């Protein structure tokens, strides 16, 4: 038995067997300010356990819930503290989301990081005659940050399936259901514009404007096979008609071209003939003018002078050829003609030169 206990027992025996418990001595680290360290450790433990703060990133807002009641003002990006067990913060994404409707067995959210893309089956629509049509499209939208608390309180966290999806399906059915299937491919742009405008109008009717519409894209319209074949036949017939019309137009153009060439040649020949005629007329007019001028310039004295000159030349010729025969014009008018008797086949005409 330890010595301390023996001594304590002896002491109790000496005091008429009265019981006295031993005094409690606190550890030394508590005597030196260890209480503060314990309290700090407890606080750190509870902070790690309950984590009474939240960090809101860009493209997000926080909704503070106090004992189940949502605060109207959203928490903006940054760090925010709250009281654990009494309060909690719901982080809501406000980035652009997209719903794509397509012919695919995969349904639900895409495995993207932020889960902002959802894929649903293509929308089944009946045309104006009741023929089944499938429509593929995409809609982009985002949550109104200022109305995030109202949206979550009214529609819950699956607000997209309660707001966007029903509106898009109803609008597509109402718009396309007014057209016959044959006209849909031709009026695709018109149909897309009507769908987009109708979606915008329906979203504006919702109280407090919870959703901001971004864009719409009509991807594909799948028609029944018999309608496809009918449209193909109509298109082929139109193409044949257009080709025949083109052939007729080309033939008409060729005929007009040939006629234009012939007319051009005729006009050219006419112009050439007119030019020649005008040239001859001008030449004749010039010759007549010259003759007129010459006739006016011939006088009796000038003619006598010319006769004398020619007669002198004949005289010279007679001196060189005395056997020549001379033929004079009646009245002795010049020019005279003479011929050498030695060579009767050769005649010379003298005109006074």
* Residue 348 DSSP SS3: strand
What is the widest separation between alpha-carbon atoms in the chain? Answer: 218
pTM, whole model, 2 decimals?
Answer: 0.55
pLDDT score, position 206: 93
Find the angle CA(34)-CA(35)-CA(36) to the nearest 5 degrees. Answer: 90
Mean pLDDT by 10 residues, the chain (353 residues): 47 51 54 64 67 87 90 90 86 93 64 74 91 93 93 91 95 94 89 95 92 93 81 75 82 84 84 82 80 70 72 72 60 49 45 43
Q: How many helices (H) and strands (E) does the chain have?
A: 8, 14
CA–CA separation, 232 vs 244, rounded Å? 18
DSSP string, 56-82: EPTTEEEEEEETTEE-SSPBPSEEEE-
Give, for 99, the enclosing helix (H) or strand (E).
strand 97-102
At 267 the pLDDT is 84
The separation between CA 24 and the C-alpha centre of its own chain, rounded to angstroms, equals 90
Given this model, what pLDDT does residue 256 score? 85
Cα atoms in the 13 Å half-sphere on the side-chain side of 142: 12
| Contact criterion met (CB below 8 Å) for 182 and 227 | yes
User: What pLDDT is recorded for position 215?
Assistant: 93
- Look at residues 100, 56, 108 and name the one whose alpha carbon lies nearest to residue 82: 56
What's the confidence (pLDDT) of residue 112?
Answer: 56
* First-to-last C-alpha distance (Å) of the chain: 188
What is the structure's pLDDT at 324?
62
The answer for residues whose C-beta is within 8 angstroms of residue 19's C-beta and 6 or more apart is 12
pLDDT at 353: 43
């Amino acid at each position: 038995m330890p010595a301390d206990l023996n001594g304590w027992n002896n002491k109790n025996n000496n005091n008429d067997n009265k019981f006295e418990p031993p005094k409690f001595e606190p550890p030394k680290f508590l005597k030196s300010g260890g209480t503060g360290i314990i309290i700090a450790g407890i606080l750190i433990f509870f902070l790690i356990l309950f984590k009474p703060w939240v960090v809101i990133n860009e493209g997000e807002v926080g909704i503070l819930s106090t004992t189940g009641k949502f605060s109207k003002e959203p928490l903006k990006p940054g760090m925010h503290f709250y009281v654990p067990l009494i309060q909690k913060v719901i982080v809501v994404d406000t980035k652009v989301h997209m719903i794509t409707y397509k012919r695919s067995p995969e349904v639900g959210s895409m495995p993207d990081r932020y889960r902002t893309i959802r894929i649903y089956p293509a929308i089944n629509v009946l045309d104006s005659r009741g023929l089944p049509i499938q429509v593929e499209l995409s809609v982009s939208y985002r949550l109104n940050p200022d109305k995030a608390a109202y949206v979550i309180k009214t529609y819950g966290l699956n607000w997209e399936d309660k707001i966007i999806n029903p509106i898009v399906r109803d609008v597509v059915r109402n718009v396309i259901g007014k057209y016959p299937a044959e006209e849909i491919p031709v009026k695709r742009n018109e149909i897309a514009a009507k769908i987009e405008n109708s979606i915008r109008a329906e979203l504006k009717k919702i109280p407090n404007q919870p959703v901001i519409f971004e864009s719409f894209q009509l991807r594909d319209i799948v028609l029944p096979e018999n309608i496809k074949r009918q449209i193909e036949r109509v298109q082929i017939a139109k193409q044949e008609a257009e080709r025949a019309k083109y052939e007729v137009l080309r033939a008409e153009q060729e005929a007009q071209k040939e006629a234009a060439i012939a007319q051009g040649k005729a006009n050219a020949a006419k112009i050439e003939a007119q030019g020649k005629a005008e040239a001859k007329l001008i030449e004749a007019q010039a010759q007549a003018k010259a003759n007129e001028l010459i006739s006016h310039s011939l006088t009796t004295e000038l003619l006598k002078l010319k006769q004398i000159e020619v007669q002198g030349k004949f005289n010279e010729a007679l001196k060189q050829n005395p056997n020549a025969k001379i033929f004079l014009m009646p009245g002795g008018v010049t020019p005279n003609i003479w011929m050498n008797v030695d060579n009767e086949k050769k005649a010379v005409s003298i005109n006074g030169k």
